[in-house]
Structure 1
Amino acid sequence: MTNTPEYFSPLIQLYQDMDNAWNQVAQQYGFQCNGCTDNCCLSLFFHHTHAEASFLEFGLQTLPRKDQMQVLALSRDYCRQTFSGPANNHSRPASQKIPCPLLKKNMCSLYNFRPMICRLHGLPHELHKPGFNVIKGPGCDAGKFDGHEYIPFDRTPFYKQMAIIEMNFRQLTGKTGKIKKTIAQIFVDSESFDYGP
């Protein structure tokens, strides 16, 4: 990722750490994601950090202008179909199994910029929240993980590091408030592409 602003470096490093850990555990399971009928790129995922939203917006700028315009058109359509209203309508929608606007020929057109949940999804995992029981996720159906012994994949360190990155990014950029947006909403809500300080 050439000419990437320096303030994205901690996020890029965290993404690399996530990818390495995910790949290591997936290899131990013998799991390789080749897409499936319950494709995660058709799932309704919300993203919760300004740092990741800004990095996605920056990533969009690396695409040819024609591709940017197509992603924006698909994003607007996604929001219309999913939220039956403007992009800032955050009522509780149900997943319509609409492809992510970045999905092109079954590949993510911004693969290197994809958010945390896109990187961590699929594998059985655990999350340790102070004062709560360990939260465990079963992994995707395509992995058929039920027949395997659980291989520890703890998301907690990644979430903690993301919280630090988000706090620092907010201080640097002055961005405030909670965020809960799909990739489509991120693009529609910020067509001005203000991706950093």
Structure 2
Amino acid sequence: MTGPRRNALLARLSALYRRMDAAYDAVSGPLGFSCDGCATNCCTSYFQHHTYVEWLYLFQGLSALPDERRELYLERAARAVAATREALARGERPRVMCPVNDDGLCGLYAHRLMICRLHGVAHVLIGRAGVREFPGCPRCETLRAAHPGAGIMDRTVLYRELAAIEMELVGKKAARPPKVDATLAEMLVAGPPRV
């Protein structure tokens, strides 16, 4: 895909991310929900990401960093990948800090991935199997119990738009790239995707 077309897709993703942030804020704000000081920090959760377009966007943010910061994140990513593999080999679910977490703050905040933006709040997904409801993280569940009738985020349209952007990036070629199933650390170690 050419540079201008790729840049247009990354701009669409950026606009989608702003809509995600607004949808998240609409649910979290009235609850007073925040991740500050959370003992079960989702930055240590084992999230696998699934889109090339987000991977490209992550590297767009990484490439804008000063060399020293970028190298620090890449070194941390290599250690995180090793620690994750060790945990999986022991049959454990990994709890490894995200390599771009700087004392509780995301060093690539503007370029963070979808799950980093949406994790925690109660949400629904509407699909062929009907409506599936998810309660959110334990902190969100506690706040929702104290606020009957609190809002819930519908992720459906957001996911569909992300899928549409991804399909436009990878195209309908016979030889599509393999499915992405990588942690953020694995993405950083692998380098930018070849799409």
Provide TM-score, normalisation by structure 1: 0.85
Paired residues of 1:29 and 1:148 also in contact (CA < 8 A): yes
Which residues of structure 2 form unaligned runs of 5+? Answer: 1-5
Query: 1:156 Cα shift?
Result: 0.5
Query: 1:93 Cα shift?
Result: 6.3
Matching residue's letter, 1:23: D
Query: 1:148 Cα shift?
Result: 2.8
Q: How far apart, CA to CA, are the structure 2 residues paired with 1:35 and 1:155?
A: 26
Q: 2:47 aligns with which of 45, 48, 52?
A: 45
Q: 1:141 aligns with which of 118, 123, 138?
A: 138
Decide which moves more: 138-147 or 101-110.
138-147
Corresponding residue for residue 26 of structure 2: 24
User: What do you get for the CA RMSD once the two structures are aligned?
Assistant: 2.5
Matching residue's letter, 1:140: C
Corresponding residue for residue 166 of structure 2: 166
Query: 1:172 Cα shift?
Result: 9.8
| Change in 2 beyond 3 A, CA 1:12/1:195 | farther
| Change in 2 beyond 3 A, CA 1:113/1:142 | same
Q: How far apart, CA to CA, are the structure 1 residues paired with 2:69 and 2:176?
A: 27
- Kindly, what percent of the aligned residue pairs are identical? 33
Paired residues of 2:44 and 2:98 also in contact (CA < 8 A): yes
| Change in 2 beyond 3 A, CA 1:129/1:172 | closer
Aligned residues: 186
| Change in 2 beyond 3 A, CA 1:28/1:56 | same
Paired residues of 1:122 and 1:139 also in contact (CA < 8 A): yes
Q: How far apart, CA to CA, are the structure 2 residues paired with 1:17 and 1:94?
A: 35
Which residues of structure 1 form unaligned runs of 5+? Answer: none
Q: How far apart, CA to CA, are the structure 2 residues paired with 1:194 and 1:116?
A: 17
Matches within 5 A, 1:90-169: 94-130=92-128, 132-143=129-140, 144=142, 145-149=144-148, 150-169=150-169
Paired residues of 2:55 and 2:193 also in contact (CA < 8 A): no
- 1:46-101 CA distance string (max 9 Å, x none): 1000000111112111111111111111111011111139xxxx989643322100
| Change in 2 beyond 3 A, CA 1:172/1:51 | farther
Any idea what SS the aligned residue of 1:128 has? strand
